[in-house]
A and B are shown apart, each in its own frame.
Chain A
Amino acid sequence: MKRREFLLLAGPAVVVMTLLMIAPLVTTAVLSLNRFSYGSDLSWVGLSNYTQLLSSPELHSSLFFTLAFVFGTTALKVVLGFGLALLLNFAVRTRSFFLGTLLVPLVVPPVVGALIFGWMFRADIGIGLYQYVLTSIGVDVDWFSSTSGAILLLVMQNVWQDISFAALIFLAGLQTLPAEPLEAARVDGASWWQRQRYVVVPALSGLFAFVAMMSVMDSFRVFDSIAVTTRGGPNGSTESLMFLAYKISFQQSQLGQGSAMSMLTVLGIVVLLIPFLIRTRRQFTEAA
C-alpha cells in the first residue's frame, strides 16, 4: 500500500480519534492549571492544584486503595479466568451451556450488577442471601463497615463482572494452540501441570499480557461499583482515584482540582501500562 493511500484510508479515523480522545485530554490538562467552579471564570493557578492534591492524605489513601484494587482484581481475573478457560476447554459437550451462563455478568449493566451484588451481602434489610449463607457457616465479615471487608466486596464484584471476558480470551487462545507441542510434551512424560506451565502458558503469554493490561486499565478507572455500594466508605477507605476526582469536582465544586485529579489518574494508568507497551513494541519490532 502506498503512503498516500494509507493516509487517505486511515486519515478520517485518526481525525475522529484526535477529536474524541486527544482534544478532551488537552482541555482537561489546561483546566487542571486553573481554579474554577460552575459558572465562574477560569483563574490561572499553575501547578497549585497538583501540589495541593499530592500533599493531601485523601489522595494517598485513594492511591493505596486503587493500587490494591488494581493488583487484586487483575491477579484474580488472570488466574481464575485461565482456570475457567481450561475447564471450558475440557467440557466439550456442555461448553455452550456453561459459556452462556458465564456471559450473563458481562451483559448485566455494571451499575445494576454492582447494586444487586452489594444487596446480596446486606445483613440488615433481609435480602442478603450470600451474607445469610456465610453467617450460617460461621463466616461473619463486616462488608460495609470494615475496610478489609469493603475492599474485598468490591474486588469480588469486579472479578464476577469481568472474569468471563478473561475466560473467553483464554478459551480462544487454548482452542487455537497447535496440538504438536502438547503431544510432544506428553510423549516426553510431562505431567498435566508441567504441560500447562512449560507449554501452554508461554504460548499464551501474549494473551496473559493483554488480559492483564485490559484489567489494569479498567480497574484503575473504577467508579460505578463504588458509587452504588460502599460510596467510598467506610471512612473514605474505598475511594478510588476516579471517585475522589468525582467528589472533588461535583461535591466540592472544585472543577480545576478535579481536572488535575483526572490527569494524575491518566498518568498513573500510563505508568502501569509501560511494561505492556514495551513488550508490545518489542513484539512488533521482532515480527518486522
Chain B
Amino acid sequence: MTVPTRLTRRLKLAAAGGAISVAAVAGCSAPTTTTTAAAAAKACDVTPPAQPATVNVLAFSAPAIDPFSDAMVKGCKGTKNVTLNHTPVDFTGQIQKAELALSTSGKSAYDIVEVYNSTLLKYASKGWVQPLDDYIAKYKEKYRLGDVDPAAWKGVSYNGKVYGIPNQVNTQILIYRKDLFQAAGIKPPTTYDEMLSAAKALKGKVDYPLSLVWGSDDAILDGFHEWLVAGGGTWFDKDNKPTFDSAQGRKALQQMKDLMPYMPKDTLSFGNGDVMALMQQGKVAMTVIWATRAAPINDPSASKVAGKVAFAPAPKGMTGTPASENSVDGFAIAKNSAVPAETLFQIIASTTLNKDVQVGASKVALPALASVQKDSKAQQPHWPAALENIANGAQPLPAVPFMDPLTKSVVNPYLTKAVTGAMPVDTALAQASSALEKALREQGYIK
C-alpha cells in the first residue's frame, strides 16, 4: 500500500532528524567539562559501598563549578553500587536548598553540597557538615592531598577543623580593554583615584567605562567589603558587633557612589554573568570581577573582545590592600547524609583533586593544587594577576557564620540606597549597622 509506505518513510526521516538533533545537542557540552569528566573517569577511585547508594550532588551551574561537578558525577558513573545525580541550580537556589536539606532532622536530600567560604562557615558552625580531618589524614598519600595549597584548606576550615574539600581558589582581578587604554594613553589603574581618572578619560570612548558586580540582592556587599578592607576598615569586633559604620566604611561607600556615573544604569541588578556578558559584548572598558570569568571574556567563541583584554591585580586602597575579595570553592559532605561519609569523601577527593582534572579545569578555575598553580603548561593569561592579588593580601569575607545570606540581606538595602543617593551615606551605614546588630542579637550571634 502506498500511504503506509510514504508514512513510514516520513516517520523514518523524522526520527533520523530527531536523533541527529539530539546527538548534536548532547554533544554540545563545554569542552572543559568534557576534558575533566574524561580525566575523572580514570581518576575515580572509590571503594564500592556494601549497599547500593544514591548520591545527590547540589551545585550551582557556573563556568568554574561545572567541571568539578561533572568530574564527580560523570567520572564516578561506573562505580559499583553508586548512582550519582546532579541537577544544576542557580546560585541562590543552591543556598536555599542547602539550608533546607542540611538542617533537616531526617536524611538530607543532598549528600554532597557545593560550598564557598561564607556558606561553609555557616554550615560548619551549625554542625550540618562533616569534619574531614580524619579522612584527610587517612587518604593524604593516596589522593596526594598534601599538594593542596594551604590557603585553600584554610578557606574550608572552621575552628581548626576542615569541613570541605577545596577544588579552586578565586579572587577578583581587574580585567580591562588594553586597546581602549592604549588609545586613550592611560595605564591600568592601581589605586582608586587612578580608577576614577581612567573612567573619566574613557567616558565617551566606550558604552560604559566601568562595570562592577553590584547586584542589590547579593553582590553589592562584596563591593563594599572590598573598599572597606582596602581602606583599613573592619566588619565586626570580637563580640560580633558591627564596626563597619566607621570613617573607613563611610569612605568606602562614598567611593562606590562616586563610581556609579561611569557604570550602566542597571548596575544594581547585575550578577557576575551580566557583567561578564557586557565585557564580552565589548560595551565595557574595565571591570573588577572573579578571575574565573577571565577565560570566557577572552574566549574567541564567546567574546567580541577576545585578545583585546588584559589582566591586572585589583586597584589598591589606602592601606595597600587590593580592593578585592578572595574565595575558596569546594564540596562538603552533609552530616545527615544516608551515604557513608567515607564513600562521599573518596568520590570528591579522588576526582576533583586529581591533577589531570585540575589541569583540565585550569582554563576556568585557579587550581587548588599548588603543583598545578606552578605548572607552566597549565598557566593561563590571568593567573599572574590573580596570584599577585592573593599575595598582596586580598581578603575573603569575614570568617563568621552569619555573613551570607543574613548580613547581606540586612545590609544590602542600605548600601543600595546610599549609592543611588536615596539616603545619605552616613545615615545608611548607621541604620544598616543598627539593623544588623538587632538581627544578630535575635539570632543569638551577639550575647
Contacts and interface: CB of A to CB of B under 8 A. Distances in A.
Given A37-B443, A235-B416, A124 B278 contact: yes
A236 B413 contact: yes
A161 B192 CA distance: 46
B83 interface: no
A234 B216 contact: yes
Interface string A125-152: 1100000000000000010110000000
B268 interface: yes
B413 A235 contact: yes
Contact of A251 (B104, B207, B281, B408): B408
A233 interface: yes
Interface in B106-144: 126, 128
A103 B406 CA distance: 41
A254 interface: yes
Nearest to B218: A231
A251 B406 contact: yes
A233 to B, nearest CB: 5
A247 B409 contact: yes
A250 B96 contact: yes
Nearest to A58: B413
Contacts of A253: 99, 405-406, 443
Contacts of B405: 250-253
B278 A125 contact: yes
Contact of B409 (A37, A38, A125, A252): A252
B262 to A, nearest CB: 14
Contacts of B442: 35, 254
Interface string B267-285: 1110000100110010100
Nearest to B283: A124
A235 B216 contact: yes
A57 to B, nearest CB: 10
Contact of A250 (B99, B104, B408, B439): B99
Nearest to B444: A40
A135 to B, nearest CB: 13
Nearest to B99: A38
B268 A38 contact: no
Interface residues of B, number: 38
Contacts of B208: 124
A126 B281 contact: yes
A142 B216 CA distance: 16
A40 B96 CA distance: 16
Interface in B255-301: 264-269, 274, 277-278, 281, 283
Given A145-B268, A251-B409, A39 B278 contact: no
A254 B441 CA distance: 12
A230 B409 CA distance: 16
Contacts, number: 88
Given A235-B422, A252-B439, A253-B406, A39 B126 contact: yes
Contacts of A39: 102-105, 126, 128
Nearest to B408: A251
B281 A235 contact: no
Contacts of A144: 265-266, 269
Given A125-B274, A252-B410, A235 B417 contact: yes
Contacts of A247: 409
Contacts of B104: 39
Interface in A231-280: 231-236, 247, 250-254
Determine chain A's interface SS by DSSP, over half rule: loop
B217 A252 contact: no
B434 interface: no
A122 B422 CA distance: 23
Nearest to B402: A253
Contact of A233 (B128, B268, B409): B268
A42 to B, nearest CB: 13
B370 interface: no
A9 to B, nearest CB: 37
B240 to A, nearest CB: 16
B247 interface: no
Contacts of B277: 125
Contacts of A231: 215-217, 269
Contacts of B283: 124-126
Interface string A8-35: 0000000000000000000000000001
A195 B408 CA distance: 58
A128 B278 CA distance: 13
A58 B266 CA distance: 22
B406 A142 contact: no
Nearest to A39: B103
A233 B216 contact: yes
Nearest to B420: A235
Contact of B266 (A38, A124, A235): A124
Contacts of A236: 216, 413, 416
Nearest to B269: A144
B420 A38 contact: no
Contacts of B264: 124
Contacts of A230: 269
Output the residue of B102, B128, B269, B442 with the most chain A CB within 10 A.
B269
Nearest to B101: A38
19 contacts: A35-B442, A39-B105, A58-B413, A124-B207, A124-B208, A124-B264, A124-B266, A144-B269, A145-B269, A231-B216, A232-B217, A234-B268, A235-B416, A235-B422, A250-B96, A251-B405, A252-B406, A253-B405, A254-B439
Q: Which 8 A-B pairs have the closest CB atoms?
A: A38-B103, A251-B409, A39-B103, A144-B266, A145-B265, A251-B405, A231-B217, A125-B277
